[in-house]
Homo-oligomer: A and B are copies of this chain.
Amino acid sequence: MSENILIIGAVAVGPKAACRFKRLHQDANVTLIDQDEIISYGGCGIPYFISGDVSDESELRSTSFHMVRDERFFQDDKGVTALPGTKALKIDRKNKTVRVLEKDKTEKDIPYDKLVIGVGTRPKELNISGTTLKNVYSVGNLHDAMMIKQMVTSGQVEKAVVIGGGFIGLEMAEALADMWQIETSVVEYCDQIMPGFVSKNLSRMARHRMEGDGVSFYLGESVEAIEGTGAVVSVKTNKRSLPADLVIMAVGIGPNTDLAKDAGLDIAPGGFIVVNDHMQTSDPDIYAGGDCVQILNLITGKPGYFPLGSMANRQGRVIGTNLAGGNAVFKGAVGSFVVKTFDMALAGAGLSVETALKEGFDAVGIQVSQFDRAHFYPEKEIIYLELVVDQKTRRVLGIQGFGGENSGMFARVNAVASILQYQPTVDAISNLELAYSPPFASAMDIINALGNAAENFLDGRYMPMELDDFEQCWQKEDKDDCLFLDCRAYGDARVFEEKYPEIWKSIPHNELHQRLDEVPKDKKLVLICNTGVRSYEAQVNLRAKGFENTVSVGAGIASLKQCGMDFETDS
């Protein structure tokens, strides 16, 4: 008698597990059920469907060779029985059956030898009034997406409010503002976008970029109510009321694991299903994967949560292999991510500095800005990277970056992402060997420069000033104890010196050792240049001459501008 595999949930992990297993055991029966009528779609593509980059919803449901992954596809191409519109009601582990509610509203039991749970998540709900008003959506599934797209394509939306400045919030804000010219606001409870994922500095760069294309941000504000009668009219925060024809709630996702809980499977404190590194639940005949499970964070060594389609796909394959008697392992994740913000992108892996501090590491974030390619090559752009390092052990805990969507930033983040599981120290980044030629990289690549900067910091040679500190220092009433020493060529520094003669002084780095007598000994010297190279060098030179009270503005004027800092100069 051939084996029966039943899979609950047919979006990402389920179909992948089904198809992998079926390839290994062609004679087994595989049944894939989902309460939704639409199955096996790329949920991560929803913002691009709404923006219009993806014109038709069927494209999110198709293979790369343009076949829609419906029941017939699974039957003919994969030999898998797919039952959309079939809701799992209860798992009977003793009798190894699942009670389901079929399309025609009849209940029946489906027996299994092995069961897979891949039911995903539910959008987190805001505990406020108005969430059920018309035109208030979360982006939990393709149905919501189709309704939102219908609204925007038919010109019904002039003003939209996105609640939440994380991945989905930013992607949705871009989709609405970019292609449909909708006046879009993002309200975020934390004081930065992408909280927990990138430092404040990098988040400011992305925010500034999005503001440039008309997205408004209200940070550190909590939404108190969604208002309207029938349809939404406005969103009320603790500080203002924002008119809205459309509201997108993107405040995170929560567990969808009642089924697993009721069946007595081990559930983690956050509500997600506990699995071992074979993706097996506490019942060895039941596997689980995708957004509904908790997996190991390879940086902290603690349980983690990484709801991404890429995780689900790789976990699905591991499950498929193990269902067939294999010994595939999913070790965990370092938490790599990338999010497009118009023509730029934020990306990262591992821990942000704030998260690392919360996790108890003696963490510091070192930021570097540099061209992604040889500086003499015509096509190039400055990119921004931040390395998060544990000061005690010199271990690299994470990397984050901001840069053009087609820049070399993505390649640099990926190169570090892939080694994080090996627990590299800073010297591994200083010596990371990326492929080099001038159209692709610098001879001393930014990734190596980043490792070098971190090393110089850890060894006490480099004393950076972060952008937040710079801004505070700049905005302080009494700048009297600070001198901003501009190490750039005079042509670049002149306008600053003229505008702020009391506090800003130009000494090009190549003139420094001849003009040491012009440098005050009683002030804190804030050394600055365009990308931090010359200001670091000046710091080293000044220190050797007894000037101990210096800081170097790590990522330089380039970063300050990218963050939108306004010096009110004409340059």
Contacts and interface: CB of A to CB of B under 8 A. Distances in A.
A406 to B, nearest CB: 5
A377 B439 contact: no
Contact of A440 (B27, B333, B345, B544): B345
Interface in A38-84: 42, 44-45, 48, 53-54, 59-60, 62-67, 73, 76-77, 79
Contacts of A529: 65
Contact of A510 (B76, B340, B348): B76
Contact of A435 (B48, B318, B413): B413
Contact of A422 (B309, B314, B422, B452): B422
A441 B45 CA distance: 11
Contacts of A143: none
The count of identical subunits is 2
Given A510-B73, A513-B76, A59 B444 contact: no
A45 B374 contact: yes
A217 B81 CA distance: 53
A31 to B, nearest CB: 18
Most buried by B among A310, A408, A417, A427: A310
A436 B337 contact: yes
B431 A330 contact: yes
A202 B6 CA distance: 42
A437 interface: yes
Contacts of A414: 411-412, 414-415, 434-435
Given A65-B489, A378-B54, A419-B422, A431 B312 contact: no
Interface in A416-451: 416-419, 421-422, 427, 430-445, 448
A41 to B, nearest CB: 9
A339 B439 CA distance: 8
B65 A443 contact: no
A26 interface: yes
Which of A171, A377, A442 has most B Cβ within 10 Å?
A: A377
A278 interface: no
Given A48-B377, A376-B45, A533-B64, A433 B329 contact: no
Main SS class of interface, A: mixed
A439 B349 contact: no
Given A310-B436, A414-B414, A417-B435, 5 more contacts: A12-B443, A60-B376, A410-B411, A411-B411, A414-B434
A113 interface: no
B42 A438 contact: yes
A313 interface: yes
A439 B340 contact: yes
Interface residues of A, number: 108
Nearest to A335: B433
Q: Top 5 nearest A-B pairs by Cβ distance?
A: A310-B436, A411-B411, A64-B375, A26-B544, A338-B435
Contacts of A171: 437
B73 A430 contact: no
Interface centre among A374, A406, A416, A544 (most CB of B within 10 A): A374
Contact of A336 (B23, B314, B434, B511): B434
A434 B418 contact: yes
A135 interface: no
A26 B510 contact: no
A309 B443 contact: yes
Contact of A418 (B23, B377, B416, B461): B416
Contacts of A544: 26-27
A308 B438 CA distance: 11
B437 A410 contact: no
Interface in A458-479: 461
A93 interface: no
A438 B461 CA distance: 41
Contacts of A422: 419, 422
Contacts of A376: 42, 45, 48, 54, 59-60, 62
A338 B171 CA distance: 32
Contacts of A101: none
Interface stretch (A208-216, A249-257, A351-359, A534-542): A534-542
B436 A336 contact: yes
Nearest to A441: B310
Contacts of A63: 375, 533
Nearest to A333: B433
Interface in A121-141: none
